[in-house]
Structure formats: C-alpha cells, structure tokens
Amino acid sequence: LRQLRAHTGGMAVVATDGLFGMDGDLAPLRQLAVVARVQGALLYVDDAHGVGVVGPEGRGSVAAAGLDHVAVPLQLVSLGKALGGYGAVLAGDTALVEHLAETARPYVHSTALPPALAHASLVAVRQARSQEWRRERLQGLIATFRALAGTAGLDLLPSDSPIQAVLVGADHAALAMSADLEDAGYWVGVVRAAPGQARLRVGLSALHTPAEVVGLVEAMARARDRVAAASPSPDPTIPEPA
C-alpha cells in the first residue's frame, strides 16, 4: 500500500471478498479496516456471499464484523445468491458511486434492471432482514453437516458459512467423487486449486432438510471409499522420488 501511494499519486484501494466463495471463510475485515485507515486507503468489500446469510438481520460480513460505512466506504451487494434475484448494488459515497457509474467499463452502456426485478429485489431484502428463522435453520444444517462429515472422516476446511469445502487432494479423485455424487442425486462442484488441493464445494440452503444433509454426507463417504478403492496402490518396489 505504501508503494502504491508513493507511485500512483492517488488513493490505494484494498479490495476483498467478505465471505470467500470457494472455501466459505470470512475475510479479517476488522484488521483490513485498520490497515486501510492507517495507510490512507479505501476498503472495498464484495459481499456477494455474505448478504442474507451472516450478520445481524442478514446484513452481511461487514455488519457481522461490527463495521460501518465509514470503515468500509464501498460495498458490493449481490441481488442474486441469498436474495434469489439478479444483478447487484454498489453501496457507498454518492460522488464515488456516480463516478464509477460514469467510468466503469462493465457498467457503461449496460442495461438497467427491469422495474419488476428491482421491486422483487426490494421485497427479498425486506424478507431477508425479517425472517431470522431462515438463518437459524441454515446454521442448524451447517452444524449437522460438519458434525456428520467429521464423524465420517471427511477432510473439512474451517467454515461456519453455507459454503463447506471438503479437501480431496488429487483432481481426478475429486472429479470422480463429484460424478458419483451426481449419480446419487447430489450436485457438488469441484474446485481445482493448487496441485494436490482439489476440493468438493458444498452449498447449503435453508430449503434443504436434515434428511438431505444426512444423505449427502453418506453419499460423500461412499464416493470417497469407492474412489480410493479404485485408485492403484503405490508399488512398494518403486522408490519414492527424492
């Protein structure tokens, strides 16, 4: 940040997701807010996966961290994901938002949301704020999934969000497990990150049932065992690479 401020002549921007969409972990927003303030930078948070799910009234990761518009001057809120609509809202200082609307290439000459979708989004926001039972139900399903997955020996990454990542390792094993799960009636995506770090990405919803979560974990354990049994065992006569 110090280098950026020294060479650009303008304000540096610290950009981050609030809740990361691949592994479901939360960004350290309070620490980032301190860094941005000390360095004179603007903190921008993309909270597409946090709004509707975390924080008081589902107001997202920024509110969950106890921060406000002063600490986070620019925030992106998705109208899809938890709100079930389409598009997004950029919330922040009026002058800054208007400047971006006039200069941001993805937005210039784009078509505004139809009035019906805008109204539906407003209704969805009101429901998300008032229907706390949905978040309570979702947290119960998350706890059930993590408890069952731990008992089944699945390698879970840390996350208290609806996005649950199960580390598999090899790309081919993760793809094979995903195919097995699809055959069993569960769509679970594969995230192929660094070599040996492939994972299955589970997305839970308040509309899921405890029985579905139980069935999913059982199917994941079966898929893991089948893929492991089908994988060739290493030849003990071949030395390991140095």
Q: Are residues 87 and 170 in the same domain?
A: no
Q: Are residues 111 and 145 in the same domain?
A: no
Q: What is the pLDDT of residue 9?
A: 63
Q: Are residues 144 and 86 in the same domain?
A: no
CATH number, domain containing residue 149: 3.90.1150.10
CATH number, domain containing residue 51: 3.40.640.10
Contacts for 106 with CB less than 8 Å, ≥ 6 apart: none
Q: Are residues 108 and 14 in the same domain?
A: yes
Q: What is the pLDDT of residue 18?
A: 97
Write down which residue in 95, 113, 130 finishes a domain: 130
Q: Are residues 85 and 158 in the same domain?
A: no
pTM of the model: 0.86
Beta bridge partners, 44, equal 15, 74
* Of 153, 195, 149, nearest in space to 173 by CA: 195
Write down which residue in 100, 130, 160 finishes a domain: 130
pLDDT tens, position by position, 100-157: 989 988 888 888 889 999 999 999 999 999 999 999 999 999 999 999 999 999 999 9
Distance CA 60, CA 69 (A): 13
Beta bridge partners, 78, equal 88
Q: Does residue 71 fall inside a structural domain?
A: yes
Distance CA 29, CA 57 (A): 19
Q: Are residues 17 and 111 in the same domain?
A: yes
Q: Does residue 240 fall inside a structural domain?
A: no
Q: Hey, how many other C-beta atoms are within 10 angstroms of the C-beta on 50?
A: 32
Q: Does residue 186 fall inside a structural domain?
A: yes
* No. of helices (H) and no. of strands (E), the chain: 8, 8
* Of 208, 221, 232, nearest in space to 177 by CA: 221
Q: Are residues 117 and 175 in the same domain?
A: no
Q: Does residue 43 fall inside a structural domain?
A: yes
Rounded to 5°, angle at Cα 25 from 24 and 30: 140
Q: Does residue 235 fall inside a structural domain?
A: no
Q: What is the pLDDT of residue 240?
A: 45
Q: Are residues 116 and 156 in the same domain?
A: no
Q: Does residue 236 fall inside a structural domain?
A: no
Q: Supply the range of the domain harboring residue 18.
A: 2-130
Parts of the chain with a pLDDT under 70? 1-9, 232-242
Q: Are residues 9 and 111 in the same domain?
A: yes
Write down which residue in 103, 130, 157 finishes a domain: 130
Rounded to 5°, angle at Cα 213 from 86 and 190: 60
* Of 135, 156, 123, 127, nearest in space to 205 by CA: 135
Q: Are residues 100 and 146 in the same domain?
A: no
Record the tokens describing residue 130, joined without a space. Answer: 């008032």
Q: How many domains does the chain have?
A: 2
